Structure 1
């Protein structure tokens, strides 16, 4: 896959790139929520080595104005960026757009919303610098974190879907005609660029379908295996809990979207029957729909799990809003009905009174710290107890001539007792599906 073209801001030295973040606060939005969202945006930008030097918030009833901000606030912002503060028209718009993309100073303006193509163009023309929106930032962060082929393709597809409607406003393409078209009229550069994007999207979808077919076969092979999926807001500590439960050396970093791919590992020490644990991509406030749609494989793990571990950073003042975000995404992917255990992580950062209050507020939840082995053992006990509910007990007779079956039986089922007489009588506990396969195996001779 050819590397995507990098924007002007990405080609600069990232260590010195600076940003001004902007937001609109509608009447129904609490000031604390707006600043919390901005704080999250700053963390995303920090992950791209972009330092925020100023923020501009305007209280207004609509976000749909031609330049996102009102005229007065736009001029105020332009004084910081060196722009005119006026939306350019006609040929001036093209020159202003090109100048914004090629400006020498390492400064970008970032809106904490998804902007329309027109708003993006108007802001760049009025401010004289490159403008990004929240969706573009999230896409860039995801692209910088992707490690697997599948994740890279999923992110590329989301990026192309985001870019396609914005091609019409990319004045760097010009109006010159290319080849093809009817009556020798030819296609404009914009039309050709759109066709190239559509062709690439089709190719990416085909490759993703092939990868998904392979993943579906792997999931089918473990369809009757107990599965747990870790879900939750990004940076809630899912990877640390994954380490506790499986002993695997998964990446643990204190930053948003440190991991994107799906990691599947068995519980350690091994459970009988086996239990697989999947660590999935984290969610975020206003996660772009294109990314939710693209990350099919990792989200399928959540949809097909027997149990979800909904991991929450209990020390984050915004954790209740983050719970709602995760629940909404789970509903969007069809996993809302899957049984879930709320795991209030990072409880070691809370005082006794805060812990007691959370225990009263969420009586069925588990307060824990992923850094405490005893808490990890308590979580493991909750998982074991959950799956024990799905086991049934049955006694089977195994002829001595078939005693080789016993080894397989001990691997896949819990052996309660063995008695030796004319045949070997074995009492086992397992899922109805596993017991059915055992009966068919013994009946088959």
Structure 2
């Protein structure tokens, strides 16, 4: 009989500096997002510490007074006794201590080390949090390799900081069995990191070649009708993917539930057959190393003929999220791909009157957008019509003749075209079809040789 083990609750606080150039709304939205990132890692955020400054403290990110305030809270000193009691009442008192401080910016290794020393608690900056989430959620070989490259790149400068702490003891003896004259442990570690990154990049290059070959074969078989779902993390892309394709893709109410690109056919199938791909979500201040590492994953967006930009209509900060996605699309060179803005989760916006008012405002601001809920079948059906209509706009109608001696090829007609009518005479069958120009031309050439 299996014994159930209750997982220990883990508590955290968030800390952030608000610079003069950042509005209160944007600052609050960023902090809320950091709390959600912490939740994805399994932490309960029990308090937040905010400070307005003209710049970050070069020594430890926050000012001296704020660092002292955090230290008192972390160590359960009298000033915060009442709040700490409330925190501990939610779980066993022994597990009520603060495990980590999440910082809402990327900070230098020395800033993180000094802050940890002063407050007596582990510090994780925004970049480290995102990397950890990606590390936990990566499933495919390509995604794991890409995440490892980003993590190693993040670790390299932190090894130099660790070497400063080690001092002269970090220097290794040269001589027999050594790694070189006077080479330090840190230098060896950095060299190992460089070698590992080079090895991973070779693996990714090989996987990219394989993926491009698979895409080319798929496009030869099915044409170029590809749709990519893009947007901010947790905007509802995977839910919409499931609704459009009838597939059992992962749907979870947390940030970065999807890291690997999933490709499925639009259901019910149409002519031309349309492939839908779900891509990794974007986020504000996504570490540059991750954007670079995930370019191969995001290339599904470049290969698509149509992008569906999914936006959470119920999020007050959706305009900032919309801007982030546009910036990333621009960075990967996908701005030229036709795009439809989909404002999803409208069913989360208050009552029916509030939803109607919100939808009207969105359509006025973004005239060609679609406002919907991925959980409403009627809304999904309308979106499907819009997608199919986009690809059928360039279809041609023509008549194809298939001699009786080649009737085994009838399946090829139905697989790549919509058959509008069929008639026959003594020589063979005539098919009135609608399909992509290249597909119809290819069938005609194939049958002429039959």
Please report the TM-score for the alignment, with normalisation by the length of structure 2: 0.86
SS state of the match for residue 170, structure 1?
helix
Q: CA deviation at 1:370?
A: 0.9
Determine whether 1:400 maps to 2:407: no
- Residues 183 and 222 of structure 1, relative CA distance in 2, 3 Å threshold: closer
Q: Secondary structure at the match of 1:270?
A: coil
Q: How big is the shift at 1:82?
A: 4.8
Q: Where in structure 2 are the equivalents of 1:118-267 lying within 5 Å?
A: 118-171=110-163, 175-178=169-172, 185-223=181-219, 224-267=223-266
Q: CA deviation at 1:114?
A: 0.6
SS state at 1:394 partner: strand
Please state how far the C-alpha of 1:259 moved relative to its aligned partner.
Answer: 1.7
Other structure's SS at 1:63 match? coil
Q: CA deviation at 1:437?
A: 2.2
* Range that drifts further, 397-406 or 213-222: 397-406
Residue 388 in structure 1 maps to residue 387 in structure 2: no
Quote the offset at 1:183 in angstroms. 11
Structure 2 CA distance for aligned equivalents of residues 325 and 411 of structure 1:
39
Candidates 374, 377, 393, aligned match of 1:373: 377
Distance 1:347-1:192 versus aligned 2 partners, 3 A rule:
same
1:65 aligns with 2:58: yes
Distance of aligned partners of 1:409 and 1:123 in 2 relative to their CA distance in 1, 3 Å threshold: same
Q: Could you say what the CA RMSD is over the residues aligned between the two structures, in angstroms?
A: 2.2
Contact 2:11 2:97 in 1 (8 A): no
1:21 equivalent among 14, 17, 23: 14
Q: CA deviation at 1:397?
A: 2.4
Q: Which residue of 1 aligns with 2:449?
A: 444
Structure 2 unmatched runs, 5+: 1-5, 77-95
Cα 1:283/1:377, change in 2 over 3 Å: same
Q: CA deviation at 1:105?
A: 5.5
Point out where structure 1 has 5 or more consecutive residues left out of the alignment.
1-12, 84-103
Larger deviation, residues 349-358 vs 180-189: 180-189
The DSSP-based 3-state class of the residue aligned with 1:66 is: coil
* 1:364 Cα deviation after fit: 1.0
User: Take 1:417 and 1:250, find their aligned partners in 2: how far apart are those partners?
Assistant: 37
Q: Aligned pair in 2 of structure 1 residues 227, 255: CA closer, same or farther (>3 Å)?
A: same
Aligned length: 413
Whether the aligned pair in 2 keeps the contact of 1:14 and 1:49 (CA below 8 Å) is: no
1:38 to 31, 38, 42: 31
Partner residue of 1:9? none
The answer to whether the Cα contact below 8 Å between 1:173 and 1:189 also exists between their aligned partners in 2 is no
Shift of 1:76: 2.7
Q: Is the 8 A contact 2:74 2:97 kept in 1?
A: no
Measured in 2, the distance between the counterparts of 1:15 and 1:361 equals 47
The answer to whether the 8 A contact 2:13-2:49 is kept is yes
What does 1:101-116 correspond to in 2, within 5 Å?
106-116=98-108
How far 1:109 moved relative to its partner? Answer: 1.7
State the alpha-carbon separation in 2 of the partners of residues 138 and 194 from structure 1. Answer: 22
The answer as to whether partners of 1:153 and 1:204 remain within 8 angstroms in 2 is: yes
User: CA shift at 1:266, angstroms?
Assistant: 0.5
Distance 1:360 1:424 in 2: 51
8 Å contact kept, 1:215–1:297? no
Q: Secondary structure at the match of 2:315?
A: coil
Aligned mates of 1:328, 1:184 — CA distance in 2 = 46
Answering whether residue 269 of structure 2 is matched by residue 270 of structure 1, we say: yes
TM-score normalized with structure 1 length: 0.87
